[in-house]
């Protein structure tokens, strides 16, 4: 029986894979001749990162950051704090932040400001999903996978109270 929390499927597994392949090609072309540092925001973006990174045709490295924004609720507190920082300095590096979803934009706004202060050569954002209706902070994400409606979603890395990250598709959470 299907888990009662898993609602309507918004992005199917094959659509995810097609879009990730296209993003990988686009990023590879944009960064040709350079070496890219992917900064993956734990934990939700791990699944997207590992698929995306395998589509890159350029030399690349990965580092991880963990920030707290949501807890187990479905609404942003607006408070962002670093739980795990990068292992290495990023000064002079071409940095691409890999995020699962831009919701209010508050997390990315904080991350962009924090990482920009470390003087990377370039700093861009690649987010799998965006919910434009929910935006509170203006964010320029250069690469976006899919725009989705204002629903709380689970799967392909996205969780509700740490569950459902392993779903191969993106679905709406029921009973939000």
Specify which residues 176 forms β-bridges with: none
Nearer to Mg ion, 44 or 105 (CB): 44
Q: Which residues bind Mg ion (CB under 5 A)?
A: 44
Residue in 95, 100, 145, 156 binding ligand IMP, rule: CB under 6 A: 100
Nearer to Mg ion, 105 or 120 (CB): 105
Q: Which residues from 58-77 bind ligand IMP, rule CB under 6 A?
A: 69-70, 76
Residue 42, number of CB atoms within 10 A of its CB: 15
Q: In this structure, are residues 38 and 49 in contact, taking their beta carbons and an 8 Å threshold?
A: yes
Specify which residues 122 forms β-bridges with: 94
Query: Which of these segments, 1-9, 52-60, 96-104, 112-120, binds ligand IMP (CB under 6 A)?
Result: 96-104
- Could you say whether residue 124 binds ligand IMP (CB under 6 A)? no
Question: If we measure between CA atoms, which residue out of 133, 61, 146 comes closest to residue 96?
Answer: 61
How far apart, in whole angstroms, are the C-alpha atoms of residue 4 and residue 7? 7
Element (H, E) at 17: helix 13-30
The least CB distance from residue 174 to Mg ion, in Å, is: 18
The least CB distance from residue 32 to ligand IMP, in Å, is: 29
How far apart, in whole angstroms, are the C-alpha atoms of residue 48 and residue 109? 20
Nearer to ligand IMP, 38 or 158 (CB): 158
- Phi and psi at 46, nearest 5°, equal -60, -40
Nearer to ligand IMP, 16 or 101 (CB): 101
Asked if 140 is an active-site residue, the reply is no
- Could you say whether residue 94 binds ligand IMP (CB under 6 A)? no
How far apart, in whole angstroms, are the C-alpha atoms of residue 154 and residue 172? 6
Q: So which residues are the catalytic ones?
A: 103
Query: Which residues contribute to the site for ligand IMP (CB under 6 A)?
Result: 44, 69-70, 76, 99-107, 152-153, 158-159
């Amino acid at each position: 029986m299907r888990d009662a929390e898993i609602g309507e499927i918004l992005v199917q597994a094959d659509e995810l894979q097609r879009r990730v392949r296209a993003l990988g090609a686009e990023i590879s072309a944009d960064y040709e001749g350079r070496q890219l540092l992917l900064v993956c925001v734990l934990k939700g973006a791990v699944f997207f990162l590992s698929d995306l990174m395998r589509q890159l045709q350029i030399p690349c490295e990965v580092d991880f950051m963990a920030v707290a924004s949501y807890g187990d609720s479905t609404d942003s507190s607006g408070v962002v704090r670093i739980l795990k920082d990068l292992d290495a300095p990023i000064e002079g590096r071409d940095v691409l932040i890999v995020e699962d979803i831009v919701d209010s934009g508050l997390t990315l706004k904080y991350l962009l400001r924090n990482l920009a202060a470390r003087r990377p050569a370039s700093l861009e954002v690649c987010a799998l999903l965006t919910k434009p209706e929910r935006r509170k902070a203006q964010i320029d994400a250069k690469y976006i996978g899919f725009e989705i409606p204002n629903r709380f979603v689970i799967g392909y890395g996205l969780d509700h109270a740490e569950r459902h990250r392993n779903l191969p598709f993106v679905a709406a959470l029921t009973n939000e």
